Amino acid sequence: MIARIGELYETIRKAQEELDTIRKNCVHDQGYRIANYMWRIGSIYPSRICLVCDAAIDGITQEEDHNFRLEQMEKDKAWRAANGIPEEEYMTGVTVVKT
């Protein structure tokens, strides 16, 4: 089992090297999407994501950022409504437990 774990880590390392090479050589000219990008745990922000290599690229505009955040808020609001979370709990982040 320990040998298999070592093999899996080696596979991950090789895949990461390949991904790094693909991203290094990508010219990011085939378009992008706006999505949340996390560069470390707890640090998430909207970014342009290359459609070819899936890397975060510079250049998100204030309008793209604003529209993405509004879209995410609407999706979150719809999810909460579909799961029975009242609007006041949605807005405050406080969950009321009724006993």
- Mapping DSSP to helix (H, G, I), strand (E, B) and coil, where does residue 27 land? coil
28 and 39 Cβ atoms separated by less than 8 Å: no
Is pTM, for the whole model, over 0.75? no
pLDDT the model gives residue 81: 87
Q: What is the DSSP letter of 41?
A: T
pLDDT tens string, the chain, 99 residues long: the values are 889 999 999 999 999 999 999 999 999 999 999 999 998 888 888 999 999 999 999 999 999 999 999 999 999 889 988 988 876 665 555 555 555
- By CB atoms closer than 10 A (0-12, 13-18, 19+), residue 37 is middle
